[in-house]
Amino acid sequence: METKIYRIKGKFVLGSEVQVFTKEYKAIKEEDIYEKIYSVFGSKHGIKRNQIKIESIEEITADEVEDPILKAII
Residue 1 has pLDDT above 80, yes or no: no
> 3-state DSSP call for residue 66?
coil
The pLDDT value recorded for residue 74 is 80
The pLDDT value recorded for residue 39 is 94
The pLDDT value recorded for residue 35 is 94
Give pLDDT tens digits for 26-37.
Answer: 999 999 999 999
Residue 11 class from Cβ within 10 Å (0-12 exposed, 13-18 middle, 19+ buried)?
middle
Sheet containing strand 17-27, edge to edge, reads 17-27, 4-14, 52-60
Give pLDDT tens digits for 5-59.
Answer: 999 999 999 889 999 999 999 999 999 999 999 999 999 988 999 999 999 999 9
**Could you give the domains of the chain?**
4-73 (3.10.20.10)
pTM listed for this prediction: 0.85
